[in-house]
Amino acid sequence: MSETMTVAGAAFALPKLPYEENALEPAISARTLSFHYGKHHAGYLKTLNKLVEGTDYRDEELEEVVRRSAKDAKAKALFHNAAQAWNHGFYWQSMAPRGGGEPEGKLKTALERDFGSTKEFRAAFSKAAVGQFGSGWAWLVADEGGKLNILATADADTPIAHAQKPLLTIDVWEHAYYLDYQNRRPDYVTAWLDKLVNWRFAEKNLG
């Protein structure tokens, strides 16, 4: 398992992956995960640590940095790196070895209530992920009343910057899938839903 990135005096460290780098194969290769986690995710944190140095953001939790910097016109670069760091940490947990299949329990009930069926949810989620223009994310979120919705965000944007509760996410930046799927984003999204999506994590977030 990948080790936590420790940097002397750094405010934020790279969290451990919840599985080995080859654990998501064949849907996502160890090579892709190594680059994605070890270069991209780590890079956002490295830049973020430089940006927060000497500011009051340095002493806050990462989630609060995202929320506050989203409203700070002078902190756009800080927001982009903090949000990408947070989004990636959430994305790793949104997947599991031998994931996929059908949701169960209260999550299944909520999906059927708000989308009609789990099949209709899957179709809508796939459409949002595949249709996101350029780089971004697709999310399953819950609003304040508990209603479930699908949200697509561009670049680093994230539900927690808009007072929404994320349950799971898929990364549709090209670096998440290009080594394995080239330009075939629909195939990546299908494999992700078939074999990786972590319904238990989503149900836990539903509360």
Q: Which of 202, 2, 206 is nearest to 102 (CA)?
A: 202
68 and 156 both lie in a single domain: no
124 and 188 both lie in a single domain: yes
Domain limits at 132?
105-206
Q: Which residues contact 39 (CB under 8 A, 6 or more apart)?
A: none
Question: In the chain, pLDDT over 70 holds for what percent of residues?
Answer: 96
Taking all residues of the chain, what is their mean pLDDT, rounded to a whole number?
94
pLDDT at residue number 9: 54
pLDDT (average), residues 136-142? 98
89 and 146 both lie in a single domain: no
CATH of the domain at 44: 1.10.287.990
Residue 181 has which token pair? 């799927």
143-178 burial code (b ≥16 CB/10 A, e <16): eeeeebebbbbeebbbbbbeebbbbbbbbbbeebbe
Is 17 within the bounds of a domain? no
120 and 192 both lie in a single domain: yes
139 and 199 both lie in a single domain: yes
179 and 144 both lie in a single domain: yes
79 and 127 both lie in a single domain: no
Cα–Cα distance, 34 to 26 (Å, whole number): 14
**What is the domain count for the chain?**
2
134 and 57 both lie in a single domain: no
150 and 88 both lie in a single domain: no
pTM over cut 0.85: yes
CATH of the domain at 168: 3.55.40.20
Say whether pLDDT at 59 is over 50.
yes
Is 22 within the bounds of a domain? no
186 and 140 both lie in a single domain: yes
Q: Are 202 and 167 in contact (CB under 8 A)?
A: yes
pLDDT at residue number 2: 35
83 and 119 both lie in a single domain: no
Q: Which run of H or of E encompasses 188?
A: helix 185-195
